[in-house]
Amino acid sequence: MAQKTAAASITSAVLNRLVTEGRTPRLLDVRTPAEFRTAHIPGAYNVPVAILREHRDELRNLLDEDVVLVCRSGARAQQAEQALAEAGLPGLRVLEGGMNAWEAAGAPVDRGPERWDMERQVRLVAGSIVLVTGVAGIFLPGTHLVGTAVGAGLTFAALSNSCAMGVLLSKLPYNRGPRADIRTVIAGLWDER
């Protein structure tokens, strides 16, 4: 089995300098459309990870330049990097620390309506389940096992760098909003060539 290599990264400071100098690489933001609308780097294209995986061959043909993948903290961007690398696209970099680091550095951000990011939503739902089942376990023996199952799921999510609860939450109307339109992204990338 081939060993997985870590994606090349770029810091917020270096990327901000490139943007300021007018040498902005192609920016693909792989978060949900709702997260993207809340805050994103100006000029970034929103291509959620699932859509990116589905259309990676089309994207590979349009991304012949430097590409920086962006998400909240870097985990989803690494998944996207792996998917594009498997499709044969070299030269990919992941924004170190994602939008968290970009915003902390005071770099420019296009803002929309405020929404909770996916990680915060997962913490709320998982924590609420554990709290409610823990308290209910006082009166209903065995109920605490639901909280134990949630804890096991979170442990698996951390070890596998995936999150079933996040996938489920992303399907809620609050998180969906207008779907990221891959045709618009492809047209925009084509026009920039």
Distances (CA, A) of 56 to 5, 72, 133: 19, 21, 42
Backbone dihedral angles phi then psi of residue 172, each to the nearest 5 degrees:
-70, 150
Query: Which of 71, 101, 169, 182 is the catalytic position?
Result: 71
To the query of whether residue 71 is one of the catalytic residues in this protein, the response is yes
Query: Which are the catalytic amino acids?
Result: 71
